[in-house]
Amino acid sequence: MNNAVTLSSLTDTNNLKTLAGPILIIMILAMMVLPLPPFILDFLFTFNIAISIIVLMVSLYTRNPLDFAVFPTVLLITTLLRLSLNIASTRVVLLDGHTGPDAAGKVIEAFGHFLVGGNYTVGLIVFIILVIINFVVITKGAGRIAEVSARFTLDAMPGKQMAIDADLNAGLIGEDDARKRRAVISQEADFYGSMDGASKFVRGDAIAGILIMLITIIGGLLVGVLQHDLALGAAAKQYTMLTIGDGLVGQIPALIISTAAGLVVSRVTTDEDLGEQVLGQLFNQPQVLVITASILGVMGLVPGMPNFVFLLIASILGAIAYLKMKNPGTQLPESIVPEIPSVEKVDASWDDVTPIDTLGLEVGYRLIPLVDKIQQGDLLKRINGIRRKFAQEIGFLPPVVHIRDNLELRPNAYRITLKGSVIGQGESYTGMYLAINPGRVTMQLPGTATSDPAFGLPAVWIEAALREQAQMNGYTVVDASTVVTTHINHLIHSHAAELLGRQELQKLLDHLSTQSPKLVEDLIPKLLPLSTVQKVLHNLLEESVHIRDMRTIIDVLTEHAVQIQDATELTAIVRSALGRAIVEQYFPAGTELQVMSLHHELENILTQVMQTGSTQGAGIEPGLADTLLKEARSAAQQQEKLGLPIVLLVPGVIRFLLAKFLRRALPQLRVLSHSEIPDSRKIKITSIIGGNK
């Protein structure tokens, strides 16, 4: 029963909070059309003054503008409240103003008589001065600060967003923390944008106050003279005093609210409120106080000056300076004093050693929109897609690509790093498209001539309006994000062997162990160390052989590791086991294998080289090596013209030697051994290398 009552009470409280906003707005709007008695006006005017003071106090003690994020809405509601009260009080003044100075309530009477001494000329001047201060100085200044802050906040958003994404990619923060930090950045932009708009309401309120005052005075004169037969002087005094009281009781809260707005938007975010900042920074330096006290003291000694006041303030400032110099430890608050490390106490530590990112992407500042989700930048999403596709195609998950800006780069430039070294670089232009010439274009396009950074094909950067025209004329057209991601994708595939480190291999084996725990346990470390397995996989990846079939690789290594420990020999055995998959990378199932081959005399020579113990090609006679490279290059060009894969078929004993020797000169060449070709596949020799020797 008690639980039910408690739950019901909470529900009622939540319902009241939900209804508070709509009820308040409806009541404010109702005041514009419903007549209000003087007592209710007194209550509402007092409430308006109280609200303005509360807002001012909250703004003084706010440490971060977002701590008072509802302020733009409060600004709008209080402005609407003042306008509604002006309408309601004007109605009462015009209807009952002839009855006496308290016709519109005691509050208006007090502001009209007590604050300006009952002199409506003085009251009119004071009212106009308050409006000018509010409209020209405070509101305009606060609005300008809000406008500039909103602009700077929006300009800084890409850099902040990129920093968050970089921290997330680096594992420094979690997804929840990143989501919260992105929300804060978005709230900052929304807050200053809202403040910029809300300040226009306050300026409009000041203008409306002047117009309402003039209309009320003129209307009061007409009503008093024509309807109530008052003398012109009596009517002017009576209605003018009421109007001035009404204007003052509205403009003073408006001035307080505008001051609060200026305080909020002009604050620099720290861990201190306004009072702590002012006292800590304005009265902190004794030298400044001494100089100021000296100047005031000299001025206080000049004949004709108010000597007592000048000397009094000079004495106070001098006393404060003396106390500051006597207690230097209280010069600055702890949050402002920079902590200077002591050379004697602070030593270098291992924390000063920062690890190098395995994969990195550095971008110029104009490419920041590509990684900013708020600006519809999809580069991060595409890079994640590249890593996912790489894992599916190659067989292991590559390291995270750490993205950061680099002001040393050209604005549109980027570079890709591997273990701190640059492996690729290029330029990309946001909002433009790269039209790549695949060799069959029908016309030249206007734009900035360049080359495709991934494959070196001729290309041109074109405007978005020329995209369809370029596609119709045979160009391959890609956007700025695709240029970067294609380059990254090409490089991580070509450097796959270097990306498979101990950590990645261990994660791969752990993943395999969840499905087949016995498989990995029987091999590592019982038969082979982890380093040998890594070397075998490295050899496979270096020749673009994927390692998706880890079950077969582990089975083969387990079977032969008892007799063989050499990584190169184990690689050859694994390649034979993976022969079907290797061949299908270049020749689809069912098609004839049209490959290059070696002349039998050249095969014999290379076999003898292998028997001498050289596995790097160093034993090949220089003249023969030069001829081999020339004929291999010529045969590869012929194979490419035929539209066939550039594949060389050789005996297994010399496969590793030739692959190592030809890799640098012909990176697109793939060397297969006879043992890797399934028995069911037909082979056709298209050219023979070394037939002339």
- How far apart CA 586 and CA 683 sit, in angstroms, is 13
**Whether residues 241 and 221 fall in one domain:** yes
- How far apart CA 17 and CA 26 sit, in angstroms, is 15
pLDDT recorded at residue 434: 92
**Whether residues 482 and 518 fall in one domain:** no
pLDDT recorded at residue 163: 56
- Say if 40 falls within a structural domain: yes
pLDDT recorded at residue 100: 62
Confidence of residue 264 (pLDDT cuts 50, 70, 90): confident
**Whether residues 144 and 264 fall in one domain:** yes
- Say if 19 falls within a structural domain: no
Q: What does the block give as tokens for 415?
A: 């570079």
* Domain endpoint, select from 577, 608, 625: 577
pLDDT recorded at residue 560: 92
Confidence of residue 342 (pLDDT cuts 50, 70, 90): very low
Q: What CATH number is attached to the domain comprising 662? A: 3.40.50.12790
Nearest to 485 by CA among 370, 634, 621: 370
The pLDDT of 33-38, averaged and rounded, is: 76
Arithmetic mean of pLDDT over the chain: 78
- Residues 102/104/107/111 CA torsion (nearest 10 deg): -80
- How far apart CA 603 and CA 169 sit, in angstroms, is 50
- Residues 300/301/302/304 CA torsion (nearest 10 deg): 70
3-state SS, residue 62: coil
Give the tens place of pLDDT for each residue, 47-64: 877 888 888 888 777 777
pLDDT recorded at residue 608: 83
- Say if 3 falls within a structural domain: no
The pLDDT of 219-226, averaged and rounded, is: 75
pLDDT recorded at residue 335: 38
Give the tens place of pLDDT for each residue, 584-595: 988 888 788 999
pLDDT recorded at residue 336: 37
* SS3 letters across 441-458: CCCCCCCEEEECCCCCCE
pLDDT recorded at residue 499: 92
The pLDDT of 147-173, averaged and rounded, is: 61
- Say if 656 falls within a structural domain: yes
Per the model's pLDDT, the better-predicted residue between 144 and 515 turns out to be 515
Confidence of residue 426 (pLDDT cuts 50, 70, 90): very high
Mean pLDDT lowest for which of 342-356, 406-420, 655-669?
Answer: 342-356
CB atoms within 10 A of CB 294: 14
Q: What does the block give as tokens for 266?
A: 């002009």
* Domain endpoint, select from 463, 489, 515: 489
**H-helix or E-strand spanning residue 23:** helix 2-31
Mean pLDDT lowest for which of 42-51, 192-201, 564-573?
Answer: 192-201
The answer to whether residues 130 and 252 touch, using CB atoms and an 8 Å cutoff, is yes
The pLDDT of 518-535, averaged and rounded, is: 87
**Whether residues 80 and 118 fall in one domain:** yes
Confidence of residue 68 (pLDDT cuts 50, 70, 90): confident
pLDDT recorded at residue 334: 39
Is the pLDDT reported for residue 559 higher than 70?
yes
Q: Label the pairing between strands 683-689 and 593-598.
A: parallel
The pLDDT of 517-532, averaged and rounded, is: 86
Handedness of CA 633, 638, 641, 645 (dihedral sign): negative
The pLDDT of 411-417, averaged and rounded, is: 93
Per the model's pLDDT, the better-predicted residue between 73 and 161 turns out to be 73
**Whether residues 267 and 315 fall in one domain:** no
- Say if 394 falls within a structural domain: yes
The pLDDT of 219-238, averaged and rounded, is: 73
The pLDDT of 658-670, averaged and rounded, is: 88
- Say if 338 falls within a structural domain: no
The pLDDT of 334-339, averaged and rounded, is: 40
Range of the domain at 128: 27-272
Per the model's pLDDT, the better-predicted residue between 115 and 509 turns out to be 509
pLDDT recorded at residue 103: 65
**Whether residues 162 and 112 fall in one domain:** yes
Is the pLDDT reported for residue 199 higher than 80?
no
Structural domain tally of the chain?
5
**Whether residues 252 and 293 fall in one domain:** no
- Say if 21 falls within a structural domain: no
Mean pLDDT lowest for which of 193-197, 623-627, 648-652?
Answer: 193-197
**Whether residues 243 and 102 fall in one domain:** yes
Looking up tokens 């100047």, which residue turns up? 295
Task: Report the helix count and the strand count for the chain, using DSSP H and E.
Answer: 24, 12
pLDDT recorded at residue 341: 47
- How far apart CA 594 and CA 586 sit, in angstroms, is 10
Q: For residue 626, which phi and psi values (nearest 5 degrees)? A: -65, -40
pLDDT recorded at residue 460: 94
- Say if 277 falls within a structural domain: no
pLDDT recorded at residue 615: 46
* Domain endpoint, select from 549, 577, 605: 577
> What percentage of the chain has pLDDT greater than the value 70?
78
Per the model's pLDDT, the better-predicted residue between 390 and 522 turns out to be 390
3-state SS, residue 237: helix
The most confident of the ranges 73-77, 136-140, 400-404 is 400-404
**Whether residues 241 and 306 fall in one domain:** no
356: DSSP letter: P
Mean pLDDT lowest for which of 51-60, 108-117, 436-445, 548-557?
Answer: 108-117
Q: What CATH number is attached to the domain comprising 434? A: 3.40.30.60
**Whether residues 564 and 607 fall in one domain:** no
**Whether residues 607 and 572 fall in one domain:** no
Q: What CATH number is attached to the domain comprising 573? A: 1.10.8.540
pLDDT recorded at residue 427: 93
Give the tens place of pLDDT for each residue, 457-493: 999 999 988 888 888 888 888 889 889 999 999 999 9
pLDDT recorded at residue 62: 75
**Whether residues 133 and 231 fall in one domain:** yes
Is the pLDDT reported for residue 431 higher than 70?
yes
Q: Label the pairing between strands 413-418 and 359-363.
A: antiparallel
